[in-house]
Structure 1
Amino acid sequence: METRLRWGAKVISSDGKNLGRLTRVVVHPVNNEVTHIVIEKGMFNRKAKLVPINSIYFAAPDEIRLRVKASEVEKLQDFEEIYFITGEGAEGRVTPVYWLRPVGDYAELYPLPSFSVSSNISEDSTAIEPGALIITAEDKEAGRVRSILLDETGHITHLVIEISSQGKKKEKLLPIDWVTEIEQSSVKVSASYIMLEKLPDKDE
């Protein structure tokens, strides 16, 4: 059975409580295994939790249901992340300036400044951001990742990407074998843009 993880999907506990929305997918780069999802709730005092992938028993594009109760999720490890811009301060010293991301995915409206990230996930894993850029073999931006397809073992089989083709936005199924590098805000592929256009469309 195929599982689809889409950023922004509502996450529901086994006792029917709304836990927030999916904001990250944590991937191990060696075997393309999804180890955790990150869920966030709240607009101002937001809480983010690392949820093991085996806690999911149902996942659709708009909703994810967990095997655990809301009280158990509260006890899970926090996903801690600090974004900051650095700039030269007085007398050449570097002064960190902390910056909070806007609510929602506004990457296209508000380009992210350069930043450093501190996170408590494993150093050899990557937490993919919503709308991560697709970078072609020619080092050109081709589109964005919209969701992730997993097999029964929790390994990625395909990325659902959105590209502009013949003046229209289309969702395509990108095989994970085409991916050469996964970073937080970008995914590099071994294919050209023309090859991406020829990929099969993803039926909603």
Structure 2
Amino acid sequence: MIEQRWEVEIGSPVLATDGEYGRVQQVILDSPQKRVAALAVRKYGLINSQTVVVPQAAVAAAAAGEVRLNISREQAAALSEYRSAPRRDPCAPGFRAGWQVFCRNEPVGQVSLALLDTGGRVSGLVMHIGHVPGRDVIVPVDWVNKVDQPNVYLRVNRSALAELPDYYPDDAIASEVNDALWADDIVRATDYYEIDISVNAGRVTLNGHTQTSEIKARAERAAHSARGVLGVENRLVVDDELMMEVAQALAHDARTRGQIIGVCARHGVISLNGAVGSAGVRTAAEECAARVPRVRAVVNYLRAPGVEVDAEDQRVLQPGRGCAVYASDMPIGRVERVIINPRNRRVTAIIVHGELPDLTCDSSDQLPINLSQQTRRVVIPVSPRQMVTTSVSLNITSVEAARCPDFDLASYVLPAANWRPPYPYRREDVLFEKEKPDGPEN
């Protein structure tokens, strides 16, 4: 999933990791390339309230409604006070809501919003033009000739503004695309719930899996039809194509070449069926299929001498990062990361961050919900008897969850930089268990 663009609205509330902090006063640029260096933020407070410089690196996300920082209010106390740059200083221009915009010295509108890409570079301005109700349009940053506070001068004639696209916030566009996909009878009946929508600067990316190339094309056409869409990148993976990729990989692997192995794909999950001569070949087939980059997970139904296949153990569970986690008796937290077995690309455990019963207290006569709570990160194994939808429902109590081991990063490794995680995860969502060294030989 791509990250949404930053939409920095002057006056937006600014939130630190532990609560409200202030409001955006100004966007500060540091070079002629118009890269955002910082935000000028007016801190909340009745006495000695001041405006401070929040560096771009401290901004976690920004939408039309708010700016979120990746630092706490205590850490923000070290930020330096903002001092306005001298007028006409070309090294520190900025943008404020309400600044006048001119085309060839003719006033044409006012700045409403600065649009930033995920690297912190200004990608455009949202400008309100015309009389009431007027239009909000996206002005490419390349059109800006100079910034002379409080005025912005464009290098184009007024007539060029008529060709500019209307501005729609990314979240509004995502909602429009979602509605368009639902309105398509075929997409709704087949793969609607397997398609993820993300929006960056009005450009839509479709991620996920579809059963056929026809459904993939229908989804793209539906996305193009939505209001405010400036472009569509279709990254949907087609099951038919994925099935062929896995079959070819098995045919070219020396360990599985010549074996009769049935391959099926359903929303990116590969199923291996048939019978092979040994447990080693069975394992090799699973590993081979899992190395195909776009595979979501591998379910191994292959029969082999001495191997029992339990269909119940083959259920694929993929809880998303941030999903709420519920024990059988109470909520306990959210999924922070997942542990994946690279041999079959399946989730084996989840790292849950939340409030768990304090087992050091005498709990013999108390319900779990009445026990004192501890904030912890625990590793909870994934069981096929658990339920995963938009949340995770465990088949254990909160006390049993509290007995799970604390998360220790030293026990895990990050995937290699070139490893492609299965949908819907990003590489930073995933950890692998460290391989245990072989024991001493007797």
**Is 1:126 aligned to residue 126 of structure 2?**
no
What TM-score comes out, normalization by structure 2 length? 0.35
CA distance in 1, matches of 2:52, 2:25: 10
Match of 1:37 in 2: 39
**Is 1:157 aligned to residue 157 of structure 2?**
no
CA distance in 2, matches of 1:193, 1:124: 27
Structure with the higher helix share, 1 or 2: 2
Give the partner amino acid of 1:30.
P
Q: Return the match for 1:172 from 132, 137, 147.
A: 137
Give the partner amino acid of 2:97.
P
Secondary structure of the residue that 2:110 maps to in structure 1? strand
Match of 2:52 in 1: 49
Change (3 A) 1:194 1:168: farther
Give the partner amino acid of 2:8.
L
Match of 1:22 in 2: 24
CA distance in 2, matches of 1:43, 1:199: 42
CA distance in 1, matches of 2:161, 2:46: 36
Give the partner amino acid of 1:161.
M
1:62, distance to aligned residue in structure 2 (A):
1.1
CA distance in 2, matches of 1:12, 1:184: 27
Taking CA–CA contacts closer than 8 Å with sequence separation of 6 or more, which of the two structures ends up with the larger relative contact order? Answer: 1
Unaligned runs of 5+ in 1: 82-116
Q: CA contact under 8 A between 1:14 and 1:67: conserved in structure 2?
A: yes
After superposition, the CA RMSD in angstroms is: 2.1
Deviations 1:12-54 (A, max 9, x none): 0011x21111010001241110100011034674310100011
Give the partner amino acid of 2:153.
K
CA distance in 2, matches of 1:60, 1:27: 19
Q: Return the match for 1:74 from 58, 72, 77.
A: 77
Match of 2:175 in 1: none
Deviations 1:63-93 (A, max 9, x none): 1100011011121000134xxxxxxxxxxxx
Secondary structure of the residue that 2:130 maps to in structure 1? strand
1:57, distance to aligned residue in structure 2 (A):
1.0
Q: Among the aligned pairs, what percent are the same residue?
A: 23
Match of 1:4 in 2: 7
Q: CA contact under 8 A between 1:179 and 1:187: conserved in structure 2?
A: yes
Deviations 1:152-203 (A, max 9, x none): 21111111111116x5321000001111112331111011222113211001
1:126, distance to aligned residue in structure 2 (A):
1.5
Match of 2:430 in 1: none
CA distance in 1, matches of 2:75, 2:86: 26
Match of 1:185 in 2: 150
**Is 1:194 aligned to residue 196 of structure 2?**
no
Deviations 1:80-136 (A, max 9, x none): 34xxxxxxxxxxxxxxxxxxxxxxxxxxxxxxxxxxx759xx871113333211111
Secondary structure of the residue that 1:195 maps to in structure 2? helix
Match of 1:97 in 2: none
Change (3 A) 1:180 1:123: closer
**Is 1:135 aligned to residue 138 of structure 2?**
no
Q: CA contact under 8 A between 1:24 and 1:39: conserved in structure 2?
A: yes
Q: CA contact under 8 A between 1:24 and 1:38: conserved in structure 2?
A: yes
Secondary structure of the residue that 1:21 maps to in structure 2? strand
Deviations 1:135-161 (A, max 9, x none): 112x01111111111112111111111
**Is 1:13 aligned to residue 16 of structure 2?**
yes
What TM-score comes out, normalization by structure 1 length? 0.73
Q: CA contact under 8 A between 1:29 and 1:182: conserved in structure 2?
A: no
